[in-house]
Structure 1
């Protein structure tokens, strides 16, 4: 860029470089999705096609950004974990958040046209996402983050399932259903669904109850040989590691990530 007398304005710019040797968690969240879902008449309590759009967008994010090791999503949000030694965009927070928000928004619109062509998007109500970065110092806190999101998914889905059954099949207004559920425990909601609607919540699809986890799959041997479980790598090792990440199989799971089994079987996810 040529120098000019106006270039001084760059001095007002500020970059926030995220702490090194820490995990970066980027969460994208739908902007105004309550109105968006009402506008496009999402099925209640869960819209399978809309969730498919979210999952395909997240899966493509994994392919476009090899630094993502694992992501988790439900409803209109997805959380992406970047490798602890990731240097994507020199760990600049503004660059990471703007790129993830804009890329996910574009991918969501692309897959919407593929999955739900019968409901074309209109310029008055386009899907957009915001993003935030959070830095975590160790693997245990990262695991607690994902536990938190899955517990939240379970609580919200059980509530929404009960609420919408009361409205759609129980003849209640939304206000009546809301009042009916005030103060109820999880066991109460299970009982309402089973006694009034003969619905065993435990038989509901795992994708609704547990959300969606997407990760790169390796054998443990490949992970060790590829350097994915080592913190200090030479430049040549880093290049080999990146190639291995790009070639790794991206797998979609609807499973328990609260207990240790998922993480213990995939030690490379948290290096």
Structure 2
């Protein structure tokens, strides 16, 4: 009797599996509608994320004007998490409520599926921003912030350099305007509408003059965090020496590391605030623009 019951139990279990297989087979066709757009081969990819409605978000959370160092450092910590999570992100640049992440051309992340990569970066950044909020702000979040993102493919290293130069120029233009605007409002006692009217049509030199002559602010001495944005890269580890008395296995491992060279995927992450437009930054880190395996 016990044997019979056991047999019935096993038969019932197998029948259940059979029905599940039939169900999967019957409804599995819906997977055919899924699209798997992949990154263009042998090309650089930039994932850029932007804060959603961050004017409102910054007002509700009473960000300091023209720059809130706490918010920028929280953004930087979120970007650092992205580099920690995704080894093939070899460079990041951030300003205001946006961050750009460069993936090396050789990446095989998620089989190069564009949607998977984009959502991974955006979700990792957003969750890290929320998680680290309390490290920089004494007041809790009033509501969850949101970020959207896009991917852009660049076939040539020059395009990559020009992209990051474009973002840093944008950083300078926006910061100079905002610094002058809020000086007029906060120190000059003007309304925001009046400040906009005063700055309408002004060029860079005129904004510098307003800051220095009227408010005693030398723009050139302000923190580079605000003027140049934040750059995240990895410090490459030193190349190990091959020991004369080491084991064969150790020697082969070190030889492989030396052969692979520096590719920007290993080493501690550093945050820099310097010129990314001139040659120096790129010449010091040639692996960032390498398209070779």
Choose the corresponding residue for 1:48, options 69, 84, 88: 69
Could you tell me which residue of structure 2 aligns to residue 119 of structure 1?
139
Structure 1's consecutive aligned runs of 4 or more residues displaced over 2 angstroms after TM superposition are 1-4, 240-247
Alignment of 1:188-227 (within 5 A): 188-218=206-236, 222=239
CA displacement, residues 85-127 of structure 1 (integer Å, 9 cap, x when unaligned): 11111111111111111111000001112221x21013xx211
1:121-172 CA-partner distances (Å, limit 9, x unpaired)? 13xx211111110110011110000000000000000000000110111011
Report the number of matched residues.
255
Determine if contact 1:62/1:68 at 8 Å carries over to the other structure.
yes
RMSD: 2.3
Contact 2:42 2:106 in 1 (8 A): yes
Residue 46 of structure 2: SS of its match in structure 1?
strand
5+ residue gaps, structure 1 = 226-235
Query: Residue in 1 aligned with 2:48?
Result: 27
Deviation at residue 242 of structure 1 after TM alignment: 11
Per-residue Cα deviation, 1:26-72 (whole angstroms, up to 9, x for no partner): 01111111100000000000001111100111112111111011110
Following superposition, the deviation at residue 247 of structure 1 comes to: 4.3
Instruction: Encode CA deviations 1:216-267: one digit per residue, 9 max, x unaligned.
Output: 1227x749x9xxxxxxxxxx969x9599866412111000001100000110
What is the alpha-carbon distance in structure 2 between the residues aligned to residue 268 and residue 216 of structure 1?
11
Q: Matches of 2:190 and 2:260 in 1, distance apart?
A: 56
Q: How does 1:9-88 map to 2 (within 5 A)?
A: 9-88=30-109
Question: Who wins on radius of gyration, i.e. which is larger?
Answer: 2
1:252 aligns with 2:280: no
2:87 & 2:39 partners in 1: Cα distance? 19
Cα distance between partner residues in 1 of 2:57 and 2:261: 38
Matches of 2:111 and 2:153 in 1, distance apart?
A: 14
Confirm or deny that 1:165 pairs with 2:186.
no
What residue is the counterpart of 1:230 in the other structure?
Answer: none
Q: Does 1:270 align with 2:289?
A: yes
* Contact 2:233/2:264 (<8 A) preserved: no
